[in-house]
C-alpha cells in the first residue's frame, strides 16, 4: 500500500478538509493560567487541529452553579480542524481529563472546561453536542474574549462584540495578566 498520491493526483487533493471552529476554555481551580496554557498546546498537538488565533485571557465571576466558587480565567481559540464534530468533542474532553476535570455538579468549579462554540456553519440540536453552543450568545465570558480576538466575529448573524456588551455577566469581566504582567495569547 502506497501513501503517495496516485499519479496525476495532487497532494492537496488527498489532504482532508478543514473546518473552522471556535473553542472556549475556562478554569477556576488550581493553577488556572498554567492550565489554560497547557490546554491550548494539548488541543493543537495533533495534525488534525491547527491553531488560527488565541484571545487574551479574562477573569470572570462564575455564572450559575453553586455559590462561593473562585473566579474563572477564560479565553477563546479559533482553530481549523479535520476532526468531525463528535471527534472534536472527544478530543476536547480528553484534554479536560488530562487536567483531572470532574463532572459532579453542573456549572461547578473545575480545573478545565473546553466547549465547542461553533463548528463551521453546522447547526445541531443534539443533546450531546448542540451547535452553536446553546448559551454562548448570553455569556460575556465567551463573547468578550472572542470579540477581542476577532472584532468582526458573528454568532447567529449577530456581532459577537454587541452580544458581549448585552450579556448579563459583562460587568464582571476583567483583563487578566499573569505575574509578569503579560497576557496569554494575542496582544490586547
| 3-state SS record for 87-131 | HHHHHHHHHHHHCCCCCCCCCCCCCCEEEEEEECCCCEECCCCEE
**Rounded to the nearest 5 degrees, what angle is found at the Cα of 185, between the Cα atoms of 180 and 188?**
80
Q: Is 25 helix (H, G, I), strand (E, B) or coil?
A: strand
Active-site choice (32, 110, 150, 169): 110
Catalytic residue among 115, 139, 150, 169: 115
| 178 in active site | no
Q: Tell me if 42 sits within 8 A of 34, measured CB to CB.
A: no
Say whether 50 is catalytic.
no
45 has catalytic annotation: no
- Which residue out of 20, 50, 52, 101 is catalytically annotated? 101
Candidates 32, 113, 150, 169; catalytic one: 113
| Residues acting as catalytic residues | 101, 110, 113, 115
Amino acid at each position: 500500500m502506497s501513501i503517495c498520491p496516485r499519479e496525476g493526483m495532487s497532494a492537496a487533493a488527498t489532504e482532508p478538509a478543514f473546518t473552522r471552529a471556535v473553542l472556549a476554555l475556562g478554569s477556576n481551580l488550581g493553577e488556572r493560567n498554567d492550565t489554560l496554557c497547557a490546554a491550548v498546546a494539548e488541543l493543537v498537538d495533533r495534525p488534525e487541529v491547527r491553531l488560527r488565533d488565541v484571545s487574551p485571557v479574562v477573569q470572570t465571576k462564575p455564572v450559575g452553579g453553586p455559590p462561593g466558587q473562585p473566579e474563572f480565567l477564560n479565553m477563546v481559540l479559533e482553530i481549523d480542524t479535520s476532526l468531525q464534530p463528535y471527534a472534536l468533542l472527544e478530543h476536547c474532553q480528553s484534554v479536560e481529563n488530562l487536567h483531572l476535570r470532574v463532572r459532579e455538579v453542573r456549572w461547578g468549579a473545575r480545573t478545565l472546561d473546553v466547549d465547542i462554540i461553533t463548528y463551521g456553519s453546522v447547526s445541531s440540536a443534539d443533546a450531546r453536542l448542540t451547535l452553536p453552543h446553546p448559551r454562548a450568545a448570553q455569556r460575556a465570558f465567551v463573547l468578550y474574549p472572542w470579540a477581542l480576538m476577532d472584532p468582526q466575529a458573528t454568532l447567529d448573524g449577530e456581532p459577537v462584540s454587541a452580544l458581549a456588551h448585552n450579556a448579563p455577566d459583562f460587568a464582571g469581566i476583567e483583563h487578566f495578566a499573569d505575574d509578569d504582567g503579560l497576557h496569554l495569547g494575542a496582544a490586547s
